[in-house]
Every structure is written in structure tokens, then in C-alpha cells.
């Protein structure tokens, strides 16, 4: 009898875990095997009661199949989620990939009404495509206010740099998600926007007091909670003046006192991934799971060892450290969230069967993606295609090529400059260093040969990079190339902060352009404008004909 009770308790606790799965079908296709469980482990854990899966990678067709397979392994409804803050195509091939949210925030400055409309469509399209592929929970919107330009991990993921912009746009995005019957997630409470440290690598520490938090960071969360946010995700940050001992994810003062009691949120509260080093460096699997659940988290995202986390919480419940009431509260919230999804699916007139399974991207989705790119790119000066100085170097800077979803040999950033004579060279963390030893002459020009440089810099806040982006001396590189009359043009993709910094020293006579989006269509649009559209079309047509006849 005791054994049966323990087994029943273990099944109930297991419902509160979210484990990681590749969107690919085969174990050998996993891109991140350190975090993505093998199929045999996934199947076992789901059969034993684990209640949620977060997915990453693969095509939309694989995702559709994967969602069905995972659900078939469980006797109960699952929460199936993904970090698709920028549309389904950000993580799954074949879906629509939108510009980062901060681009919509930039549109908001000029035309608030239009930006709000676009943000709602952004949410609706994301929700529609996710639901068609089997997802029911979107880990967005980001409610952090990117008040620190040096933020290495939020950056363009934020919807704005002040609380009013973020509040307006996240609520609009949330309305879009709700219209498609998928759950939303406001993140990362109590606010990750003013950090200068990446919580994937270490624990950010902030000195904000309650007055500061209420004045700035809390505002978007309060607004979205009032508007009906389905879930809130905690931040792995330490607020010394609120709780000097525990990060927010593990702090009862933050999760229960501030979020539950002060702000009044009664929906699902989920941790950020517990494998992130802000937590895992200082706490073991068992300890972090128990502390997070004790603090008020209903769902535990990606504990490093799911079995150890389940066992630890069961022990804390059986010993009386955590009251059984805490478990029932979390399970009730989870059931309510699933019931909301089921209620929508049972009444929706837009049945999955009506959607072409070969192409979930509708004309309206493509039009929205194009409009967002078009409204957010900036061409300061076009590159003159009549000039006879294009037998030069197309130097592309990217974080990494393993993998690099926006860059292939056929990506516009490669092939369009090559069509007018530039030779493409990639600069990235795993490649040959382009830097010279003298910081006054940071680019080792002798390695590249003669000719002008077209610099294309793909740079935005990305997890696991820390402050590596800030260590690259592109400001000095531009000054160096200008001094030697070897800078043909500059294109920045991603961070508006880098763009604003570089154009301060860029000679206005040098062609330059900016795009917040990094995806191929953004490359196509910004380079078509930057390279004088009509002339570029003629060059590409001639190049294509030459390639065919060769």
C-alpha cells in the first residue's frame, strides 16, 4: 500500500516537469544531445507521468509528427511548448520567421497604432502555425524591458526599452496568441532587461529595490497579468535587496510574495531552464527543484536529471517540508490551462484538416513577415554598382556556423555580393581569427589580400556568448579601413546598439544599411535596397544565366 501511494505521488509530481526533446525524429539528429533526451528516455518518462515537453529543431512536418508521437507516449494531455519568440520559423524550418520584437518596438516610436496592430498579427500568426504543428504553449512574450544596451541575452528579444512600449506590444502579441487557442508565457519575472550578464553562463546580480521594480520592471508583467497571461516564467537573477540568499527562481519572496500576492497572478508559474548555469553552478538538481517548487513554481523546466528532481520533490512532500496543498495547487493550475486549450479546440471553426499540411505558411503570414522587414530596415546610402571597385572581400561576421540557420552558401548575404565580384570570407568564433595583435590595427589586412571590404555583421544578443560580442573591435576596424580607403560598405543585422555605435564613426559617404532581422528574406530585402534594386536584378539575372550556361 505504501509503495502504491509513493508511485501515485511520483506520477503526480512528474506532471509538473517539462523535459527537452529534439524536434527531429531520430536520436542521431539531435543537435544538442546534452539537453535533448533520447527517444527511449522520453518514452519512459512520458509513460511515467511527465507532463510537458519543450521542443527545438527540425522541420514543421517533423514537428507535426513529433507532437503526435510524444502525445501517444503519454496517458494524459501534454503541455507541448517551444521558445518561438520570433515565429515558428525561428526554431522549425518551414514556419514563418519574423523580425525580432525590438524591431516592432522601433516601429512603435513612429507609429504606435500600426505597431500594436502588427504585434497582434505577429502573435496570431505564431499561435496559428504552432497549433497546426501540435504545440499548445508558446514561451513568449518577453516582458523584459531592455533598459541596458549591453544586455548580452535579452537585447532584440525585448519589445522595447521602456515600460509603456513593452506593455502595449506584449499585450497585443498576447491577444494574437489567445485568438489561436494557445497558451502564452510572460517572461522573465521580475525582469531580466537591465542585466549585463548572461544567466545561461552565470548568475546576474541586480541592486534594484522594490520601488525601482514597481516603477519600471513590474509594469509589463502587471499589465499582461491583468490582460490574461496564461503563465509567467521566472528569471535566474539575484535581487540582493529583495532576497540576498536565493535567485528569483528559487525565492519565495519573489515568486509568492511579489508575483502571487502583490501582483495577483494565479496562473501557471514556470521556471526558466534549471540546467542554465546561473542555477546549476550553485545548486544540485534535487536542491534546485525543491527550492523552486517550495518558492511557488508550478512547473519545473528542464531539470538536468528528471528522475532526481521528481524524487527530491516527493521526499520533500512526504517529509512535510512542503505541504501537499502546494502540489494540489500546481496540479489544479495545470489542469485549468489544459482545459482552456481543449475548450478552444472543441469550438474552433478553423480545423487542422483545412490546412495544407505541406505548407502551413499562409499568404497573410508571408505578407506580415515582409511588411515587418520592410518597415524595419534602414539604408543610409546605397552602394554604387557602377563603381569599378567591387573585386574585394565580402567579410561576414557571425556568432558561429555550427549551426547557423540564416546563413548558407545560397543566402543573399553570400550570393548577392558575390554576383558583383566580392569574395566571401566568414569570420566566426571557430574560424581563423581575423584579428591582428595591435589593437590600433585590429584587422589583419595582409590575410585577406587587396581590394575593398564589404562588412556584413550579424550581431545580436544570443545565449551562451556572454560578453564575447563586446570584445570584438569593430569600431576600430571601421576606422582602420576608412583610413586606408578600403571600406566599400557596411551592413549590420540584428543589434541596433551596434549599428548606432558604428555609424557614429562611419563616414557618411560610405554606403551602409541596417536590418534587425537576420533571416534570408531580411538579407534579401536590405541588400536589394542597399545594392540599388533595379541594377542588382540585372546583375543577378546575368549571373544566373552564366551559371546555367557554364
Per-residue pLDDT tens over the stretch 26-81: 999 999 999 999 999 999 999 999 999 999 999 999 999 999 999 999 999 999 99
Predicted pLDDT of residue 546: 36
**What pLDDT is stored for residue 353 in this prediction?**
43
Claim to verify: residue 387 and residue 341 sit in the same structural domain: no
**Whether 302 and 377 share a structural domain:** no
User: Which of 319, 352, 385 lies at the terminal end of a domain, its last residue?
Assistant: 352
Asked if 265 contacts 225 with a C-beta cutoff of 8 angstroms, the reply is yes
Between strands 423-427 and 378-381, the pairing is unpaired
For residue range 333-382, list pLDDT tens digits in order.
999 999 999 999 988 655 444 555 568 999 999 999 999 999 999 999 99
Predicted pLDDT of residue 534: 61
Please say which residue of 300, 322, 352 terminates a domain.
352
Q: Does 318 share its domain with 378?
A: no
For residues 118 and 241, membership in a common domain is answered with yes
Kindly state the average pLDDT of the residues 235-244.
Answer: 97
Q: Are residues 348 and 399 in the same domain?
A: no
State the alpha helices, DSSP H only, in 296-428.
306-319, 324-347, 363-376, 412-418
Q: Is residue 386 located within the same domain as residue 476?
A: yes
Mean pLDDT of the residues in the chain: 92
Q: Tell me, what's the pLDDT at 1?
A: 45
The predicted pLDDT at position 4 comes to 53
Over residues 479-499, the mean pLDDT reads 96
Structural domain includes residue 13:
no
Burial of 188 (0-12, 13-18, 19+ CB in 10 A): buried
Q: Are residues 234 and 95 in the same domain?
A: yes
8 A C-beta contact, residue 293 and residue 256: no
Peptide bond into 403 cis (omega under 30): yes
Residue 433: what pLDDT?
77
Q: Which residues are catalytic?
A: 200, 272
How far apart, in Å, are the Cα atoms of 103 and each of 118, 138, 230, 496?
11, 20, 25, 9
**Does 360 reside within a domain?**
no
Mark whether 187 and 316 lie in a shared domain: yes
Q: Count CA within 13 A, CB hemisphere, residue 287.
A: 8
Cis ω on the peptide bond leading into residue 188 (within 30° of 0)? yes
The number of folded domains in the chain is 2
The answer as to whether 17 is a domain residue is no
pLDDT of residue 447: 83
In a domain, 43, yes or no: no
What CA–CA distance (Å, rounded) separates 14 from 90? Answer: 29
Q: Is the pLDDT of residue 392 over 60?
A: yes
Could you list the residue range(s) of the whole structural domain that residue 278 is in? 80-352
Q: Do 377 and 347 share a structural domain?
A: no
Region of poorest pLDDT, from 183-187, 193-197, 434-438: 434-438
Residue 223 has pLDDT above 70, yes or no: yes
Q: Is residue 292 part of a domain?
A: yes
In angstroms, the CA 306 to CA 44 distance is: 11
What is the structure's pLDDT at 461? 79
What confidence score (pLDDT) does residue 100 get? 98
Q: Is residue 27 part of a domain?
A: no
Does some domain include residue 457?
yes
pLDDT in tens, 120-159: 999 999 999 999 999 999 999 999 999 999 999 999 999 9
* 157 and 298 assigned to the same domain: yes
290 and 408: one domain?
no
In percent, the amount of the chain with pLDDT more than 90 equals: 82
| Last residue in a domain, options 352, 387, 421 | 352
pLDDT tens column, 271-329: 999 999 999 999 999 999 999 999 999 999 999 999 999 999 999 999 999 999 999 99
Helix (H) or strand (E) holding 378: strand 378-381
Band of residue 389 on the pLDDT scale cut at 50, 70, 90? low
Q: What is the CATH number of the domain that holds 326?
A: 3.20.20.300
pTM, to two decimals: 0.93
3-class state of residue 17 by DSSP = strand
Identify the burial level of 137 via C-beta atoms within 10 angstroms of its C-beta, where 0-12 means exposed, 13-18 middle and 19 or more buried. Answer: buried
Please report, for the domain that includes residue 538, its CATH number: 3.40.50.10870
Q: What was the pLDDT predicted at 409?
A: 85
Q: Are residues 429 and 385 in the same domain?
A: yes
The pLDDT score that the predictor gives to residue 532 is: 75
The pLDDT tens digits for 246-278 are: 999 999 999 999 999 999 999 999 999 999 999
Query: Cα 6 from chain centroid?
Result: 38
Residue 53 resides in a domain: no
Which residue reads 506580415 in cell numbers?
A: 368
pLDDT tens, residue by residue, 154-184? 999 999 999 999 999 999 999 999 999 999 9
Amino acid at each position: 500500500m505504501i509503495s502504491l501511494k509513493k508511485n501515485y505521488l511520483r506520477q503526480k509530481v512528474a506532471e509538473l516537469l517539462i523535459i527537452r526533446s529534439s524536434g527531429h525524429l531520430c536520436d542521431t539528429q539531435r543537435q544538442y544531445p546534452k539537453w535533448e533526451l533520447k527517444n527511449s528516455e522520453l518514452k519512459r518518462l512520458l509513460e511515467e507521468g511527465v507532463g510537458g515537453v519543450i521542443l527545438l529543431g527540425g522541420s514543421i512536418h517533423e514537428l507535426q509528427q513529433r507532437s503526435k508521437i510524444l502525445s501517444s507516449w503519454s496517458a494524459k494531455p501534454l503541455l507541448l511548448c517551444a521558445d518561438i519568440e520570433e515565429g515558428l520559423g525561428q526554431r522549425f524550418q518551414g514556419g514563418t520567421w519574423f523580425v525580432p520584437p525590438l524591431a516592432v518596438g522601433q516601429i512603435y516610436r513612429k507609429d504606435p497604432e500600426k505597431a500594436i496592430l502588427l504585434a497582434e498579427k505577429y502573435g496570431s500568426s505564431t499561435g496559428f502555425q504552432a497549433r497546426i504543428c501540435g504545440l499548445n504553449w508558446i514561451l513568449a512574450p518577453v516582458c523584459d524591458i531592455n533598459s541596458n544596451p549591453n544586455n548580452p541575452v535579452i537585447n532584440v528579444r525585448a519589445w522595447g526599452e521602456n515600460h509603456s512600449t513593452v506593455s502595449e506590444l506584449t499585450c497585443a502579441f498576447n491577444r494574437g496568441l489567445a485568438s489561436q487557442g494557445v497558451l502564452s508565457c510572460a517572461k522573465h519575472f521580475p525582469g531580466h532587461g537591465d542585466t549585463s550578464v548572461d544567466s545561461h553562463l552565470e548568475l546576474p546580480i541586480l541592486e534594484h529595490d522594490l520601488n525601482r521594480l514597481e516603477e519600471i520592471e513590474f509594469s509589463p508583467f502587471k499589465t499582461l497579468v491583468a490582460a490574461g497571461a496564461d503563465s509567467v516564467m521566472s528569471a535566474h537573477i539575484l535581487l540582493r535587496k529583495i532576497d540576498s540568499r536565493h535567485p528569483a527562481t528559487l525565492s519565495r519572496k519573489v515568486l509568492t510574495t511579489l508575483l502571487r500576492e502583490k501582483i495577483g497572478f494565479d496562473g501557471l508559474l514556470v521556471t526558466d531552464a534549471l540546467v542554465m548555469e546561473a542555477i546549476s553552478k550553485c545548486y544540485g538538481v534535487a536542491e534546485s527543484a525543491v527550492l523552486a517548487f517550495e518558492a511557488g513554481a508550478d512547473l519545473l523546466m528542464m531539470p538536468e536529471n528528471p528522475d532526481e528532481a521528481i524524487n527530491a520533490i516527493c521526499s520533500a512532500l512526504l517529509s512535510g517540508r512542503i505541504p501537499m496543498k502546494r502540489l494540489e495547487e500546481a496540479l489544479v493550475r495545470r489542469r485549468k490551462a489544459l482545459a482552456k486549450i481543449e475548450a478552444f479546440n472543441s469550438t474552433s471553426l478553423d480545423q487542422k484538416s483545412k490546412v495544407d499540411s505541406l505548407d502551413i505558411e499562409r499568404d497573410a503570414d508571408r505578407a506580415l513577415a515582409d511588411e515587418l522587414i520592410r518597415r524595419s530596415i534602414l539604408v543610409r546610402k546605397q552602394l554604387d554598382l557602377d563603381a569599378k571597385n567591387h573585386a574585394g572581400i565580402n567579410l561576414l561576421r557571425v556568432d558561429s556556423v555550427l549551426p547557423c540557420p540564416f546563413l548558407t552558401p545560397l543566402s543573399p548575404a553570400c550570393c548577392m555580393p558575390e554576383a558583383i565580384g566580392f569574395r566571401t570570407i566568414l569570420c566566426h568564433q571557430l574560424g581563423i581569427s581575423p584579428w591582428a595583435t595591435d589593437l590600433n590595427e585590429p584587422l589583419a589586412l595582409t590575410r585577406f589580400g587587396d581590394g575593398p571590404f564589404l562588412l556584413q555583421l550579424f550581431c545580436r544578443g544570443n545565449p551562451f556568448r556572454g560578453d564575447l560580442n563586446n570584445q570584438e573591435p569593430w569600431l576600430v576596424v571601421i576606422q582602420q579601413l576608412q583610413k586606408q580607403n578600403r571600406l566599400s560598405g557596411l551592413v549590420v543585422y540584428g543589434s541596433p546598439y551596434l549599428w548606432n555605435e558604428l555609424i557614429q564613426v562611419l563616414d557618411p559617404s560610405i554606403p551602409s544599411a541596417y536590418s534587425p532581422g537576420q533571416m534570408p528574406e531580411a538579407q534579401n530585402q536590405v541588400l536589394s535596397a542597399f545594392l540599388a534594386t533595379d541594377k542588382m536584378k540585372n546583375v543577378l539575372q546575368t549571373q544566373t544565366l552564366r551559371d546555367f550556361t557554364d
